[in-house]
Amino acid sequence: MTEAIELLPRNPRPARRERPPRHLADLDPAERRAAVAELGQPGYRADQLSRHYFARLTDDPAQMTDLPAGVRAELGGALLPSLLTAQRELECDGGTTRKTLWRAFDGAFVESVLMRYPDRVTMCVSSQAGCGMACPFCATGQSGLTRNLSTAEIVTQVFAGARAMAAGVVPGGAGRSGGPGRSGGPGRSGGPGRVSNVVFMGMGEPLANYRSVLDAVRRITEPAPSGLGISQRSVTVSTVGLVPAIRKLAAEGLSVRLAVSLHAPDDELRDELVPVNRRWKIAELLDAAWDYAAATGRRVSIEYAMIRDVNDHAWRADRLASLLAGRLAHVNLIPLNPTPGSKWTASDPSVAAEFLDRIAARGVPVTVRDTRGTQIDGACGQLAASTEPKRPAAGSNLPG
Ligand code: SAH
């Protein structure tokens, strides 16, 4: 018997390029009706399902009591497969910043971060497992690209945040007296709320996964029950600068914000910090950015990680200001979050302050990005989806 078993072929390893299962959130309303019809159900079942998922934020078929029990199980099984399983949740900033490590159907890991502020709630989502852009200062860039996420895998991250907000389990918000940064017990919850903003600043290069990201933007922004009903103006797509994709996005007729990760005002340095610059130079990238601003009426956000003695020189501030003066742009200075083993560190605060002043002096709007989530490796560029236990930073309130 044992021998016979050994003669059988080994369990085939799952095909590496298998697609994530199809999910309601992959489909537009017409496709949903067609999918339901394939299962022999009337089209209005698709609308019922959509209302549960996108409006009531329910993905448990058992709770869909307006559907006959047999239909519930069948439609749920076919259109609401579980795509991402929360593997680990970490929180800091008094519970107002929450990072989730997700495991996909094929074992790929991605992360998302929910940040509750007094006036808004931002969900930072991943568009790819890993990233192929290889920026040397970014944690995600070190491991390369595993794969693109599907539309529904992206939407699911926002869905999870929306559900946590609706359940009132996230402290903070306008009603809370302590303000972010102080720890509040469960009784200090800010009460239920909504996700108001979505930023594609988690793992991955969104414009390298164009189709899925665009469909996810549509699903996130279409009014319920077609989508999650978040305003297009509150969605930001951040890119290393894939010029043809920026131009394509500008022609989509959307009003999402574009963020360009510039990090250097000169090609010589940017070739090193953002290797895709070797393909599309700064002048060409900014041309595309200004055309995007003209097409959408939206100010382009210029992201600039402040790296000590690498890109924080006064002359670079002046060069940056010259590139941006008079343009529809806003500069976001991000103190570098050093990745493990990195030779780089954040700029000295006084150097960063002078850098900011020099840009502001030229009339270019500039702010320093708030760096929430540093303690849980959830801040900009720290998402590496390591499953290794992380040592909590002193003073943080991480579980375990
Ligand atoms: N691939 C996209 C989106 C993901 S990164 C992009 O590059 O824009 C989101 C932002 O975090 C980018 O501006 C990125 O350059 C920045 N970032 C990456 N690593 C960082 C780090 N270690 N410290 C500070 N910002 C970082």
Percentage of the chain beyond pLDDT 70 is 86
| Whether pLDDT at 146 is above 70 | yes
pLDDT value of residue 301 = 98
What's the order of all strands across the beta sheet hosting 84-92?
Answer: 84-92, 97-104, 109-116, 121-124, 197-200, 235-239, 257-261, 300-306, 329-335, 366-368
pLDDT value of residue 89 = 92
140 C-alpha to ligand 1 centroid (Å): 9
| Whether pLDDT at 400 is above 90 | no
Q: Using alpha carbons only, what angle is made at residue 91 by residues 85 and 96, rounded to the nearest 5 degrees?
A: 115
The mean pLDDT value for 249-264 works out to: 98
185 C-alpha to ligand 1 centroid (Å): 32
pLDDT value of residue 93 = 87
Among 238, 258, 304, name the best residue to mutate to test ligand 1's pocket (greatest count of ligand atoms within 8 A of Cβ). 238
The mean pLDDT value for 129-135 works out to: 96
Average pLDDT in the chain: 88
Q: CB–CB of 55/48 below 8 Å? A: no
pLDDT value of residue 190 = 76
pLDDT value of residue 189 = 58
The mean pLDDT value for 152-166 works out to: 97
Are β-strands 109-116 and 300-306 bridged in parallel, bridged antiparallel, or unpaired? unpaired
Phi, psi of 325 (to 5 degrees): -55, 135
DSSP state of 346: B
303 C-alpha to ligand 1 centroid (Å): 8
The mean pLDDT value for 285-307 works out to: 98
State the pLDDT confidence band at 229, using cuts at 50, 70 and 90. Answer: very high
User: What is the amino acid identity at position 212?
Assistant: S
d(CA 232, CA 251): 15
Among 274, 303, 369, 383, name the best residue to mutate to test ligand 1's pocket (greatest count of ligand atoms within 8 A of Cβ). 303
205 lines ligand 1 (CB under 6 A): yes
Higher pLDDT, 339 or 233: 233
Per residue in 49-79, pLDDT tens? Answer: 999 999 999 999 999 999 999 899 999 999 9
332 lines ligand 1 (CB under 6 A): no
| Whether pLDDT at 127 is above 60 | yes
Nearest-atom number in ligand 1 for the CA of 335 is: 24
Catalytic residue, chosen from 131, 135, 138, 380, is 380
pLDDT value of residue 397 = 33
138 in active site: no
Per residue in 161-220, pLDDT tens? Answer: 999 999 998 998 764 433 343 443 333 457 999 999 999 999 999 999 999 999 999 999
The mean pLDDT value for 8-15 works out to: 45
382 C-alpha to ligand 1 centroid (Å): 8
Enumerate long-range contacts of 55-59, CB under 8 Å, 24 or more apart.
Answer: 55/224, 55/225, 57/159, 57/162, 57/163, 57/166, 59/159
d(CA 336, CA 245): 27
Q: CB–CB of 206/217 below 8 Å? A: no
- Find, among 152, 153, 150, 134, the residue nearest to 142 by Cα: 134
pLDDT value of residue 37 = 97
111 lines ligand 1 (CB under 6 A): no
Nearest-atom number in ligand 1 for the CA of 238 is: 8
pLDDT value of residue 41 = 95
d(CA 43, CA 54): 17
d(CA 137, CA 228): 34
| Whether pLDDT at 399 is above 60 | no
380 in active site: yes
Give the distance from CA 26 to its chain's centroid: 17
| Whether pLDDT at 395 is above 50 | no
303 lines ligand 1 (CB under 6 A): yes
26 C-alpha to ligand 1 centroid (Å): 27
**By alpha-carbon position, which residue is closest to atom 19 of ligand 1?**
381
| Confidence (pTM) | 0.90
237 lines ligand 1 (CB under 6 A): no
**By alpha-carbon position, which residue is closest to atom 4 of ligand 1?**
201
| Whether pLDDT at 291 is above 60 | yes
Phi, psi of 148 (to 5 degrees): -70, 145
Per residue in 346-392, pLDDT tens? Answer: 999 999 999 999 999 999 999 998 777 777 676 666 666 554 444 33
DSSP letter string, 200-235: E-SSS-GGGGHHHHHHHHHHHHSPTTTS----GGGE
Percentage of the chain beyond pLDDT 90 is 78
